[in-house]
Amino acid sequence: MGEIKIPELAESITEGTVAQWLKKTGEYVEKGDYIVELETDKVNVEIISEESGILQELKANEGDTVQVGEIIAIVSEGSANTKAAEEPPKAAVPEAPVVNEAPPVKEEPSPLKPEAKGYPIASPSARKLAREKGIDLSQVLSNDPLGRLRAHDVIEHDRRKEQPAPPAPKEKETKQPKAEANPGKPTERVRMTRRRQTIASRLVEVQQNTAMLTTFNEVDMSNIMNLRNKRKDQFHKENDVKLGFMSFFTKAVVACLKKAPLLNAEIQGDEIVLKKFYDIGIAVSTDDGLVVPVLRDADRKNFAEIESDIMTFADKARNNKLSLADLQGGTFTITNGGVFGSLLSTPILNGPQVGILGMHKIQMRPVAIDKERMENRPMMYLALSYDHRIIDGKEAVTFLARVKALLEDPESLLFEA
């Protein structure tokens, strides 16, 4: 008899939600088989069985919240052959002819191939997407040589469907309690995902527990855009990665953090922890909300390494492949609302960090060159939110002005240590 427990996931993660059981009671599982998908605050993880045997009991249902160390299933001793051998006598008790049906039991697929029993091998993102769209994964075709289903397979299957999705959601909709303020009006109640609940909780916590202020500036992107247009082909040829804007901003931020160390710190009790390393969080939007993978040792990376890491993060985020290690830590965050068209916003701190830089949409605006001339320039508003408990306004404004100066003279970034 063996117990399946929720393992230690990460220092900051103490619980999760059972998203989907990958095995059913009565099935044989091998040690190392994935048996359940767990949705945590940051990523979805698949929990493996530490025992081989028959899955005797599930102690948590899909949607239940479970704690680290909690027992979620019981595995009894036995093997695939043991289960097969036990089944014929049950059928043989009523009448002898049933005994002849025992041979088909031997034709069961190997327990090492869960897809043969009607449980396709699929990534967490594929299963999540299928659940949201009401798609049976056994009907989805895989483009993977090993038969593993991924999110893009589910998307492609959904596009090929000639008829709309089953009306099940509409039936649920009619059963949901109607809003009291608008009786008779159609409504729909959707349970927040664990990740969305965590995002909501942390944002409220930051607002309540910090003295957050935001200062603004604007940067003329002309020189960066000219330099990028001039060097992008050669850069791509030599490094096999595109030259974007984020590497310029990351370099500028790191250079300025070295001169304003309090923005690279955090508060612990009555102490200020000054961090002598520069792990920059890069905010990435996903269907489940914002995630912030961390660019480690950004001060030691060149432009190509920064762009390559950011591209990897974006690809992982799209395919729900970010690991807990990718998301942990971080000393300062950069977020870019401009990719969605935001002209100006107030970014909220990513606690326990005390600073976050918001980038915005590049827009042509008339700019006074001198007393006599005006020109249309590609301008971007910058927003720096900071914790006023340890950062004074002067330091925050000076930091943002330095960032602006470096970005408007991008070649100067080459001389920053």
Res 368: pLDDT: 92
Q: What average pLDDT does this structure show over 322-336?
A: 88
Residues 6+ apart with CB under 8 A from 235: 241, 242, 243, 303, 304
Tens of pLDDT, residues 165-196: 445 544 444 445 545 567 778 888 888 877 77
**C-alpha distance from residue 25 to each of 21, 31, 157 (Å):** 10, 16, 29
Residue type, 316: K
Residue 178 is classified by DSSP as P
Res 167: pLDDT: 53
Q: Tell whether 167 is covered by a domain.
A: no
Residue 126 and residue 158: Cα distance in Å, rounded?
12
Q: Tell whether 35 is covered by a domain.
A: yes
Q: Tell whether 389 is covered by a domain.
A: yes
Domain that holds residue 33: 2-77
pLDDT of 86 above 70: no
Task: Return the structure tokens found at 247.
Answer: 């590497």
Q: What are the phi and psi torsion angles at 378 (to 5°)?
A: -75, 105
List residues with catalytic annotation: 388, 392
Res 143: pLDDT: 65
Residue 25 and residue 120: Cα distance in Å, rounded?
17
Q: What average pLDDT does this structure show over 88-96?
A: 48
Q: Give the total number of structural domains in the chain.
A: 2
Which of 77, 104, 123 is a domain's end point?
A: 77
> In this structure, what CATH number is given to the domain that contains residue 10?
2.40.50.100
Which of 77, 99, 132 is a domain's end point?
A: 77
> Which of the four pLDDT bands, split at 50, 70 and 90, describes residue 133?
confident
**37 touches 193 (CB < 8 A):** no
- The strand pairing partners of 219, in sequence order, are 380
pLDDT of 84 above 50: no
Residues 6+ apart with CB under 8 A from 6: 16, 38, 47, 66, 67, 68, 69, 70, 72
Q: Is the domain of 214 the same as that of 357?
A: yes
pTM of the model: 0.62
User: How many other CB atoms are there within 10 angstroms of residue 207's CB atom?
Assistant: 11
Residue 362 and residue 378: Cα distance in Å, rounded?
6
